[in-house]
Amino acid sequence: MTAVEVFAPAKVNLTLHVTGRRPDGYHELDSLVVFAEIGDRLEVTLSEHPALHVTGPMAKGVPEDDGNIVMRAMSLIGVNARIELHKYLPNAAGLGGGSSDAAAALRALSDLSGRALPGNLLALGADVPVCVVSRAARMRGVGEQVETLQDIPPLHAVLVNPNVAVPTGDVFSQLDSMSNAPMPRALPHLAHAGGFVAWLRGMRNDLQAPAIAAQPVIAQVLEALHVTSGCQLARMTGSGATCFGLYSDAETAASAAGRLREAFPGWWVAATRLNAVS
């Protein structure tokens, strides 16, 4: 086998608690991460020389050289390939798109070459270890502690990005506190979506407020989601600017997505399921 196609799902931080800052400047996190049914796709073919070609509706502005984490992933595992990356997720949007692309590339290159995945995944970024797992997980530390979770129910969601950039460094620099409470030591076993969403309301994304300060349109996105019929929770994911709304069923989520596309044609809007594979 010399070629394979792989899926790189969108990552959604249902919670993101910033719990400390290390002497080296890296932030300690406690985050509940799930993955969506939508994402990017990669076609990976072993070759003599590494190459990356980016296509798709969200390809504009995505680098094809070493500025792309996928190229750095190839270098890290030491396997050359020609990769066609079909971008469907907004770039630098808090959905872990680049990290998920790199993780998918690593899985594919490992399968094709027989080489083990690199041990130093954090060299590519804090989200790469959890994206390699690509399942519901609790992510702690600076991203190196990944605990997969079995009791997270599937969730119907709408993802919205207002097509603005939010530099992660700027968001972290505006945090009021670098040392906030983590999630409970033991997470509840809530197999039903209604109870789980009710529990999520008591959790946080500590980066939401500083991201809104950097890009006030994020507050408009959250309000637009909140007022859609059936929205149970609206929150930002990652460091922004993508936000998610949670709904009781696929029909309600699809209806909300349709209304948002009509009202805000300049925004990226997608209805999807989160954690559909337990």
Amino acid at the residue 44 = V
Residue 240 and residue 253: Cα distance in Å, rounded?
Answer: 21
Residue 151 is a catalytic residue: no
Q: In the beta sheet, which residues pair with residue 31? A: 16, 139
Residue 136 and residue 138: Cα distance in Å, rounded?
Answer: 7
Structure tokens at 276: 């559909």
Q: What's the burial of 130, exposed, middle or buried (CB within 10 Å: 0-12/13-18/19+)?
A: buried
Q: Which of 11, 40, 87, 101 is catalytic?
A: 11
Residue 11 is a catalytic residue: yes
Q: 222 in helix, strand or coil?
A: helix
Q: How far apart are the first and last CA of the chain?
A: 29
Q: Report strand pairing: 145-148 vs 137-141.
A: antiparallel
Q: Which of 40, 127, 170, 206 is catalytic?
A: 127
What are the residue numbers of the active site?
Answer: 11, 127
